[in-house]
Structure 1
Amino acid sequence: MTMNDRASTAVHAATADDTQGATAQTAPSAPNPTPTLPPLKVAILGAGRIAVSMARTLTMMAADDRYRTLVDPYAVASRDQARADAFAKEHGLPKAYGSYEAMLADPEVDLVYIATPHSLHAKQAIACMRAGKHVLVEKAFALNVEQARAMIDVSEDTGRFCGEAIWTRFMPSRLLVDEALSAGEIGDVTAVHANLCYPMTHKARLKDPRLGGGALLDVGVYPLNFIDMVLGERELRRLDTTMVTFPTGVDAQNSTTLVYANDTMATAYSSMMNASDRDGRVDGTEGYLVCRNINDIEGIDIYGTDHELKRHVDVPAQLTGYEYEVKAAVRAIRAGRRDCPEMTHADTLRMMALMDRIRREWGLHYPTEDDAVDGTADAD
């Protein structure tokens, strides 16, 4: 399934939601009004940088006619009550909790956005679902595929939604890329290349192997997901990968080459040591397509084999970019789904398994990845 197949599935799902309940009657005598569902009350677990971005997003959605019926920005939980109080005050959240156990005890919470270090995701998501909450888990979903499977198993057992919040999977730019590829604007796809790098060694979390630090789980997920969205699930014939080790033992930068059974190739590069152009490029038999900044696509340029620009594609204006994953999660929850069509559980497991394989080639094992996850863990 390609990027277009999954994106189209999501679009069709949205259309189905909008038309659900229509009847074959041509002139109903007394049409029933469409019931208005209450917005989901969303709590944020963690109070770091990405939590701030989500709080801003939820506040903007609640004030926007397109999204106000979806979410109600409700609470934040942190292991520091003072930090939670300050966060709630800054972002206008009614509730602030000094532990995630206190937040889970609140029956008003419908959906929890987990914005803590990677090493806490599995344990916290499982606890949330066992408490009856739906969860939207920031990437990387977990430390490894075993933890991811445990989370998904609990999702199935409890009937709670458990989705991975990798925002690029939900953005309109995804469909724009696929429309160009499906139209044959660059011919048959032969290779995909993607990179994402930021100088981030000043962040303690990224240097700590116990927290799943390093480039791969933080920024490397984006090049790998970009490749997966373009090529879809297909047999991997060969994987070659290497990394440069940071003094703490995590990967400082890494490069991976993937060769598939149909001879399509892909390369992914990520680093926490330096900046890069952040581009994604799709090569074809009749040209190539360039996405400017795969972490939040700013524009799409399509070239011919003569390297002349054939077409530029603008991307739609957005609130912050995070609104799309939230909208998709709410839509999935209301439809009774356990995941989103834009990023299914199968997609998450495939990406986690790929990153596990890459780390095995490096000999990188996180000290906490074998810890029990069906328990409790403090919020960040």
Structure 2
Amino acid sequence: MCLQILSEKISLFLGAGSIANKIAPMLKQAGFHPYAAGSLSHAKNFALMYGFEKFYTDYEKLLKDQNIDLVYINTPHSLHYDHIKICLENNKNVLCEKSFTLNFKQAKELVELAKTKNVFLAEGIWTRYMPYIDIIKDFLAKDLIGKIVSIEANLAYNVIHKNRITSLELGGGVLLDVGIYTLNFALSFLKDEIKNIIATCKKMPSGVDESNGIILEFKKGAFAFLNSSVAAISDRKGVINGTKGYICIDNINNPSSIKAYDKERKLIKDCLVPKQINGFEYEFQACFKALEQNKIECDEMNHEEILKMMNLMDRVREKMGVKFIGE
């Protein structure tokens, strides 16, 4: 890789969503170099606002810049495939916001391209990189709650007014935007093969899912009960139920505390999550750690896990009868 890893120069492909406005101010605070912003409409204003050295209104010109160490993509889901591909073809390392692509087929092609080109590729599903995942794994390794019997998770935000959410053309709906977090939460701790999937949803007029309920049955007998919505407000809690107790997470999308309880439902372990800038720094730290080790994927969310998740969401959408344009 012909990269200047130590400078950690980051470029952003800007989408219309607000997430870029959360990423940008974090970069300098976390010790990264906000180098270039790329957008077809508002690159200049964005770059000036957040202190980027350069801006590009043409993605192809941005990708010719040899000083970029990592491109972060946060455009709509439907554009991820094209934007990741053009980056990889130009030998640019990529961190792409979730959902990685629209479907498994697109994801598989891109992972294979990254391997062929020996270029770094990762998915920005921020919860997979957060310290709380390891805290829970430590609770489980210490056998605080025994064997996992079931996992429950819910996540809902009332964002139904946003065009990217309602649009079938943009790969909208709750699953790829919000439900992906409940699925990732469950699969972070249940590594068994999925035996059966039950999924249903309420659809919007456009054909995308507005709210959904998902049950995953695993081969060794555990279950995951998951629900998500873009038309409601929920408590965002997660629970891991075991044979000897249970673990409660106050917010699966960005928790502040994790508590373990015994058979008598008495608190036996209470752990505060480490202080953070805004939580997005962890995925960038993981990317540059991987690059320094000459890896083309992150340990926290490797290529196999990316493909596993995309395949699972394809299967869930099939159960719900949600199909994107062109599939």
Q: What range describes the TM-score normalised by the shorter chain of this pair?
A: over 0.9
Match of 1:90 in 2: 49
What is the aligned-residue identity percentage?
A: 37
| SS of residue matched to 1:259 | strand
CA distance in 1, matches of 2:226, 2:74: 25
Residue type matched to 1:52 in 2?
N
Residue type matched to 1:171 in 2?
M
Match of 1:110 in 2: 69
Residue 37 of structure 1 and its aligned partner are, at CA, apart by 5.6
Q: 1:79 aligned to 2:50?
A: no
Structure 1: runs of 5 or more not aligned:
1-35, 63-70, 371-380
1:1-380 alignment, distance < 5 Å: 38-47=6-15, 48-62=17-31, 71-80=32-41, 83-232=42-191, 234-368=192-326, 370=327
Q: Is the 8 A contact 2:126 2:283 kept in 1?
A: yes
Q: Is the 8 A contact 2:167 2:208 kept in 1?
A: yes
Residue type matched to 2:105 in 1?
E
Residue 239 of structure 1 and its aligned partner are, at CA, apart by 1.0
Instruction: Encode CA deviations 1:257-299: one digit per residue, 9 max, x unaligned.
Output: 0111111111111100101111111001111101111001111
Residue 40 of structure 1 and its aligned partner are, at CA, apart by 2.1
Instruction: Encode CA deviations 1:150-170: one digit per residue, 9 max, x unaligned.
Output: 111110111110001111111
TM-score by length of 1: 0.83
Match of 1:16 in 2: none
* Larger-gyration structure (1/2): 1
CA distance in 2, matches of 1:313, 1:157: 42
Q: Is the 8 A contact 2:5 2:69 kept in 1?
A: no
Match of 1:15 in 2: none
Residue 307 of structure 1 and its aligned partner are, at CA, apart by 2.3
Deviating more after overlay: 124-133 vs 46-55: 46-55
Residue 44 of structure 1 and its aligned partner are, at CA, apart by 0.5
Residue type matched to 1:185 in 2?
L
Change (3 A) 1:37 1:213: closer
| SS of residue matched to 2:169 | helix
Residue 104 of structure 1 and its aligned partner are, at CA, apart by 1.0
| SS of residue matched to 1:301 | strand
Residue type matched to 1:173 in 2?
Y
CA distance in 1, matches of 2:69, 2:320: 40
CA distance in 1, matches of 2:137, 2:177: 25
Q: Is the 8 A contact 1:189 1:283 kept in 2?
A: yes
CA distance in 1, matches of 2:56, 2:286: 26
Residue type matched to 1:347 in 2?
E
Which 4+ stretches in 1 moved above 4 angstroms?
A: none
CA distance in 2, matches of 1:39, 1:215: 37
Residue 54 of structure 1 and its aligned partner are, at CA, apart by 1.2
The count of aligned residue pairs is: 323
Q: Is the 8 A contact 1:59 1:91 kept in 2?
A: no
CA distance in 2, matches of 1:138, 1:52: 14
Residue type matched to 1:191 in 2?
S
CA distance in 2, matches of 1:53, 1:87: 12
Structure 2: runs of 5 or more not aligned:
none
Q: Is the 8 A contact 2:5 2:288 kept in 1?
A: no
CA distance in 2, matches of 1:362, 1:188: 31
CA distance in 2, matches of 1:336, 1:46: 27
Residue 38 of structure 1 and its aligned partner are, at CA, apart by 2.5
CA distance in 2, matches of 1:307, 1:340: 37
Residue type matched to 1:44 in 2?
L
Residue 247 of structure 1 and its aligned partner are, at CA, apart by 1.4
Q: Is the 8 A contact 1:122 1:147 kept in 2?
A: yes
Question: Quick one: higher RCO (CA 8 Å, sep 6+), 1 or 2?
Answer: 1
Q: Is the 8 A contact 1:192 1:280 kept in 2?
A: yes
